[in-house]
C-alpha cells in the first residue's frame, strides 16, 4: 500500500524556467494539500484540491504559481518563471476525507533549488 509519492525528489532550475512538481496521493484519497517549507520555518499551507477542483488556494502566491488535480493522474504544482526565493521544500499531503478529525499523510517532498 504505497504512501504519498512525490517526484522529483530534487529539482534544479535556473531563474526564469518552469518547475513542475508531481504528487500521487495515497490510494483512495481524493483530497490533496500542498505545503512549502523554508529552512528554519514551519510548513505553510499553499493550496487544497479535490479531483478536478481547487477548493482553497489562499496560501498560494497570486502570480506564477498554479496547481491542478486532474481526474486521471497526479496533482501538479507548477511554478512559472522561477526566482531564487522559490527555493524551498514542497510537500504534498493527502487525506481520505476533508474533515480535520483525520491525519494528513505526507510525501517526502521535492527540494527545489534555483540557480
The binder of another protein chosen from 57, 68, 76, 108 (CB under 8 A): 108
* List of residues 6+ apart from 49 with CB closer than 8 A: 31, 32, 33, 34, 55, 67, 68, 69, 75
Q: Is there binding between residue 105 and another protein (CB under 8 A)?
A: yes
What is the C-alpha separation between 90 and 78, in angstroms, rounded? 11
CB of 87 to another protein, least distance (A): 16
Name the residues that contact another protein, by CB under 8 A.
Answer: 4, 6, 31, 33, 35, 40-45, 48, 55-56, 91, 93, 95, 98-109
Amino acid at each position: 500500500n504505497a504512501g504519498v509519492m512525490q517526484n522529483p525528489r530534487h529539482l534544479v532550475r535556473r531563474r526564469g524556467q518552469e518547475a513542475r512538481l508531481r504528487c500521487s496521493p495515497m490510494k483512495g484519497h481524493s483530497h490533496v494539500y500542498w505545503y512549502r517549507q523554508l529552512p528554519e520555518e514551519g510548513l505553510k499551507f499553499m493550496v487544497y484540491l479535490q479531483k478536478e477542483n481547487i477548493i482553497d488556494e489562499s496560501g498560494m502566491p497570486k502570480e506564477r504559481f498554479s496547481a491542478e488535480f486532474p481526474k486521471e493522474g497526479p496533482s501538479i504544482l507548477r511554478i512559472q518563471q522561477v526566482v531564487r526565493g522559490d527555493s524551498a521544500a514542497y510537500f504534498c499531503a493527502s487525506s481520505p476525507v476533508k474533515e480535520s478529525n483525520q491525519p494528513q499523510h505526507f510525501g517526502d517532498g521535492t527540494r527545489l533549488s534555483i540557480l
